[in-house]
Structure 1
């Protein structure tokens, strides 16, 4: 080769290199033009540069300026990169906020005729629109305005940038919007389009067709864009190059977009946190390049495991199907997914065992199958893993939540995060866990584990930071001088046996921030050394132990901590924390003395406060009204006196106010009407007087009003029935209310408990009771009534209901209770026929009134009725035969009325004693062996005259006892026959019986026999 040829080649290489360097802004051969330099200076003059990032923008050659790139051959400015090198986020704001450029974008940029790349991302331009003139920068190939502070509508003339290949206009908090997306079709050369968090709610459903006109599109990010509705698409797919699609965190409500499985170039697909439903297409597993698939949080996507894992999945690395409806058993073919790193199928319906072929997944890092229906064991799987480790070590096997725990688990020597919580694991923890020297997180909480946990379980866990053993039956068996090898941050050992003394090894834990020793069988005083480490605790829970003595005042915890000392034997005055906290529960102890006057001032940001069940006396501290963030306030079951301070009306976020069972007096303050978020109000068992304040009608969110056992008077306000659409419980018993029952009460469609007993009410019971919709249907779905929930701590609603003359407290099953108690008033008129439409009614008490007329024949329709008391009224006529069909009726009192005729002597009626019918002189009471005189058309059974001979009387006695026996047998056998025919009814039948206090002995015995027989049969 001649010298000339070599020279030409060298020049050519230098030319290529010079162009590459010019694009990177590293070097150049020609200086920039004066016009470009002046344009840049004008652009700089419009910017605010607090950190002087553009200090290099001086001199004649702008190609040497920071963030400026030039064409090497012409010197023309082709790139401006002024992105914030420290992108804004919540963590970096205080440190790097000063790096942000702001100010105005000068149209001088239009004079840069060769500008190809423009990056202004992660700055804070002062909420100005994206400049319209950007659409005239015709040479642009790259435009990045991501999170740069712009707002308003994205200009449609950006569609004029026909050479653009990369466009990122992602925004913060929907600050940018798009009215329609048609202009994007003009970007025919676009490869990357990112519009994350841009508001696209107005673009309609045609956005897919618009994007399909971009044949070179490779990456698409429309996550969090408020896209909604269906994902329609018909016609041929033009996305021949599409590799990355992110449509997560929208509101897409359609079946899985089938057209996606035709895009063979897909590498990453994210459709998580939408509302997709129906079947996951089978072809998804055959996409040859797919490495990342996220479908979590759609909740209604379905797939059968045997079909879902039928394909190859050869290159898949991340598979996230959390919170869907995947079902069936994991097939052995899952072992073919040899590239798998993260496998997440939390909260689905997967059943059966874990196939041993998983041992082939040597790259596995995260394996999460919590919240499924897995059964079986793991020994084969872990045996295979041993071979896998020798071939290719597992770096991080994270959150393995499987069942049960095998002793061979210790073979996973590189394990860092092990999460087995929230399953139904049983058995013991293997000692081999102590060999996991790299373990950081260990979670087996909320299982059925039992047995001892010894020092060997932790022998080499020097890196452990999160230890969660709560809600098991484990016993910690370590020596008194044990020094753990770890320094944990979170220590959760609730419901484990740690006592009887306070664990001394806790003195070694200097980094602990989260401590839960609840229900841990610890007794005695809290040692003084504990308060030396408690100042770091953001959560301290030692509830449900037998701790004694006094707490230091003030006690030490971390600022804004959650503190729970409830259900112990602690004494002394109420302590205050040394710093502000957000949750304080001292309930069910033996604290005494008054509430400190500065209580609210010491904890102005407290959100949850419970001091119930102590010996606190004195008045309610006015300063509690300073706790403006308070959500739940429970001071019940103490010895408080005086009036309710009006300052409580300042707690505008209050959802729970329970002052019941104290000695409070005075009127209910008008200021309580300011608590518009209040959901449950208990002022029961005090000495309040006066009327119900009119202002209380403003508390329209109320679900419980319990003012029982006070000295309130006046009429029951009609607005109670007009303003509380969500009211479940209205309890005004044992007061001095007078007047008539307001007919508006029947507007309370959510009402399940109406207790107005022991007042001075007059008039008749309105027929509109049939409008109480919640009582007209059977309540067979139990809902815990929890209020003021804060970080998993809540106030649990409870109520005392009078049943069979006895007060019964309902808590767990309160949502199933339906009750009407109007007893001990001066009500008159006839027995209300409307009650027969309340088919879900369980307890009915109309006793001690002046009600007349007949019990309606349709009373047998009240199939859920468990207690009926109409004693001490003026009822007459016969006892309806349909009452014999009330199979759940366990308490009946018809005494002291004017009933006549024969008592139905079969079915459930045959189980009640004489006292249920006493005081009705015209009844034929066979248990008393009193013969009936005359006929009785109500029962349909002939009466016998007293002049019958002895043989005739013997016949009557024999007939009676035969009928009683047959009725009694029918009452038992008929439900049994029904349950035997349809087994699922068994659980429903006896589950309902379980929640009826006072269930007859024969029913309990038969239930237990049935359950034993069922277990044997299965």
Structure 2
């Protein structure tokens, strides 16, 4: 009886194992082991100096950092190993967290992989792996700013499910690209395309980012290829060495295209008017090219356009009055700087209820700003340009007085009106703009004085009124500008003494009060400005003794001009200042007990 029970137990166990095998559990276990080994092989080829992948151990790979799995099967669907530091920390932290080394073809075993992000790492000058073309379930592939070089493999055409492809270095557009390239060139893609025809097989592609990929061998074929991608919504080809005339497709089929960015190339032609037939366009960037001829007025009628940048083309022409009288229903960013726009700004600009950024600098605009603006009833706030945060009109030929409505732009953060012919006083309403961070009015014909109410601009970081006819004294309330980094008031008629409150400007980096009629002594509190890099008090009527106290905390100072005053330097012979200036002019400053070695 006991033998029968044991036999029954063994038979039951065999039955259970057979059932598991029949139901695929053994296969799943093998699959798990296969996926785990593939990831371990992949990891073994990587160099990880900061141990970012320290969690890659144990059997439960779905919990490893950067790995995501499908809940029902446990299959790996995502590998996200992008460098985690954002671009604003790129100088200090970028290289500290990068991965490098070799990319193992073991990834081919991850048959369910849909998402692969290796961006902003350092695969130093290695080619894009050919086997990526075998990852046929990929939907998302991001290799931007990861240091790859060479020809982009044409077998990527096999990725027919791919919706997002980024091979660019676009994240470096707004920082010191040349500096970083010299110091960390291994992080920059050095890719090129010999033949772009294979991209027409990427029939699911929605996003294509190839900024700074060399497309000079492609010629004009890029337009026809893009025209054959029925789902394409974003096209980024900035800095791709595209040249000659702007190609026109025989038939515009880009019905889904919302974003086109082809800036920083060498197109030498008229504006591509076929873009006016792409009604879904939300963003157009053709800045920094060699476009010429007239800016088509039809741009202002594109029903969904929110962003337009045609700056830095130099030879684009147009009447600003005619352009701004179009509807521009949804426009938020309008940058037409550094072209040949002419005429005066119309009062209809008030209809731009969604406008956040307007840059018309470096053009040929003339006339005065409109005293009043139209269309206030069209904006829900009933106020002019209610969303405008930045207005740039510098380097034009604008004249007349500054209108009071500038002070009604309640969300304004930056106002650049330098290098024009504006006259009269600065409207008092400007000193009530609580969000204002930058106010530059230099090189005009403005007069009047800086009022005590300037202290209300608690967010102000930069103030420039140099080369005007300003008079009066610097108000004591200027010391309340705790965020101020730059103060430029040179070449005016300012008089009186420098207020001691200047020493409260703990963030101040540049101070230029030269070429005025300032008198009295230099405040000791200047020595408290530990962030100061440039100090120019030359060509005034300042006098008095300069002591060690005046230079106490100025360790970052590299530019110092104090000539054409009547200072008396009174420091001990062996005193060494905390700074090392590259540009020093003490003028005819009378020396103290002996000649200091640092002068």
1:259 corresponds to 2:274: yes
Check the 8 A contact 2:500/2:525 in 1, yes or no: no
Q: Deviation at 1:548?
A: 4.1
Residue 123 of structure 1: aligned partner: 121
Q: Deviations over 1:53-98 (max 9, x none)?
A: 33333344433433333344444333222222224x4734534644
Aligned residue in 2 for 1:422: 419
Please point out which of 124, 131, 134 is paired with 1:133: 131
TM value normalised by structure 1: 0.49
Find the aligned partners of 2:168 and 2:478 in 1 and give their Cα distance. 52
**Higher relative contact order at CA 8 Å, sep ≥6: structure 1 or structure 2?**
2
CA shift at 1:517, angstroms? 1.2
Deviation at 1:274, TM superposition (A): 1.2
Contact 1:132 1:157 in 2 (8 A): yes
Gaps of 5+ in 1: 1-29, 376-402, 603-1018
2:336 to 302, 321, 339: 321
1:543 and 1:205, CA in 2 relative to 1: closer, same or farther beyond 3 A?
Answer: same
> Partner of 2:43 in structure 1?
44
Q: TM-score, normalised by structure 2?
A: 0.81
Mapping for residues 947-986 of structure 1, pairs under 5 Å: none
Distance, in Å, in 2 between the alignment partners of 1:166 and 1:435 is: 46
1:467-522 Cα offsets, whole Å, 9 max, x none, are 3222122222478x767433333222213344344434434434322211101212
Deviation at 1:545, TM superposition (A): 1.6
The Cα of 1:417 is off from its aligned counterpart by: 3.5
Distance in structure 2 (CA, Å) of the matches to 1:342 and 1:483:
28
SS at match of 2:116: strand
- Verify: 1:149 aligned to 2:150, yes or no: no
Superposed displacement of residue 256, structure 1: 0.9
Q: Deviations over 1:962-997 (max 9, x none)?
A: xxxxxxxxxxxxxxxxxxxxxxxxxxxxxxxxxxxx
Q: CA deviation at 1:353?
A: 4.2
Cα-to-partner distance string for 1:554-611 (whole Å, 9 max, x where unaligned): 9553425211223334567999853222222345x36689x98976xx9xxxxxxxxx
Match of 1:275 in 2: 290
CA distance in 1, matches of 2:326, 2:430: 36
Q: Which runs of 5+ in 2 are unaligned?
A: 1-27, 170-186, 380-384
Provide closer, same or farther for how the CA distance between residues 306 and 541 of structure 1 changes in structure 2, counting only shifts above 3 A: closer
2:389 alignment partner in structure 1: 365
How many aligned positions are there? Answer: 538
CA distance in 1, matches of 2:596, 2:433: 52
Q: Deviations over 1:338-371 (max 9, x none)?
A: 3222222112223334452164533333233333
C-alpha separation in 1, matches of 2:322 and 2:273: 16
Please name the residue that 1:84 is paired with. Answer: 83
Task: Tell me the equivalent position of 1:583.
Answer: 583
1:159–1:183 CA contact under 8 A, matched in 2: yes
Within 2, Cα distance between the matches of 1:286 and 1:534?
Answer: 52
Distance between the aligned counterparts of 1:555 and 1:99, measured in 2?
A: 39
- Counterpart CA distance in 1 for 2:433 and 2:313 is 36
Match of 2:303 among 288, 299, 310: 288
Cα distance in structure 2, aligned partners of 1:256 and 1:321:
13
Partner of 1:91, secondary structure, is helix
8 Å Cα contact 1:476/1:496 also seen in 2 = no
Which residue of 2 is the match for residue 236 of structure 1? Answer: 251
How big is the shift at 1:541? 0.5
Residues 474 and 494 in structure 2, CA contact (< 8 A), matched pair in contact too: no
Native 8 Å contact 2:369 2:403 kept in 1: no
From the superposition, tell whether residues 263 and 551 of structure 1 become closer, same or farther in structure 2 (CA, over 3 Å): same
User: Aligned partners of 2:564, 2:34: CA distance in 1, in Å?
Assistant: 80
Q: Counterpart of 1:371 in 2: which secondary structure? A: coil
Partner of 2:173: none
Classify 1:597/1:135 alpha carbon distance in 2 versus 1 (closer, same or farther; 3 Å): farther
Aligned CA distance change for structure 1 residues 304 and 510 (closer, same or farther; 3 Å): closer
The answer for the alignment partner of 2:532 in structure 1 is 537
**In 1, are the aligned partners of 2:161 and 2:204 still within 8 Å (CA)?**
yes
Which residue is 1:496 aligned to? 492
Residues 833-872 of structure 1: pairs in structure 2 closer than 5 A = none
| Corresponding position: 1:546 with 2:570 | no
Query: Which whole-Å CA distance do the structure 2 matches of 1:210 and 1:123 have between them?
Result: 29
Between the aligned partners of 2:311 and 2:478, the Cα distance in structure 1 is 42
2:526 and 2:37 mapped to 1: Cα distance? 67
Counterparts of 1:272 and 1:463, CA distance in 2: 31
8 Å Cα contact 1:320/1:342 also seen in 2 = yes
Partner of 1:194: 209
Contact preservation (8 Å) 1:542, 1:564: yes
Task: Name the counterpart of 1:972.
Answer: none
Q: Do the aligned residues in 2 keep the contact of 1:458 with 1:484 (CA within 8 Å)? A: no
| C-alpha contact (below 8 Å) 2:390/2:415 kept by paired residues | no
In the alignment, which residue of structure 1 is the partner of 2:470?
474
Query: Deviation per CA, 1:895-935, whole angstroms, max 9, x where unpaired?
Result: xxxxxxxxxxxxxxxxxxxxxxxxxxxxxxxxxxxxxxxxx
* Structure 1 residue 52: Cα displacement: 3.4
What is the aligned partner in structure 2 of residue 990 from structure 1? Answer: none
Against the structure 1 CA distance between its residues 492 and 311, is the aligned structure 2 distance closer, same or farther, given a 3 Å change threshold? Answer: closer
Matching of residue 304 in structure 1 with residue 319 in structure 2: yes
Equivalent in the alignment of 2:54 = 55
Q: CA deviation at 1:162?
A: 2.5
1:164-203 matched pairs, under 5 angstroms: 164-171=162-169, 173-203=188-218
Matches within 5 A, 1:384-463: 403-406=400-403, 410-412=407-409, 415-455=412-452, 457-458=453-454, 460-463=456-459
- Secondary structure class of the residue paired with 1:522: strand
Specify whether residues 534 and 260 from structure 1 end up closer, same or farther in structure 2 by C-alpha distance, changes over 3 A only.
Answer: same
**Which whole-Å deviations, capped at 9, do the CAs of 1:414-433 have from their partners, x for residues lacking one?**
55444433222222234444
Report the CA distance shift for 1:406/1:191 in structure 2 as closer, same or farther (over 3 A).
closer
Deviation per CA, 1:806-839: give whole Å up to 9, x if none: xxxxxxxxxxxxxxxxxxxxxxxxxxxxxxxxxx
Task: Return closer, same or farther for 1:223/1:304 CA change in 2, 3 Å cut-off.
Answer: same
Which SS does the other structure have where 1:563 is aligned? strand
Distance in 1, matches of 2:527 and 2:557, equals: 18
Secondary structure of 1:476 counterpart: coil
What is the Cα deviation at residue 299 of structure 1?
1.1
The Cα RMSD (Å) is: 3.2
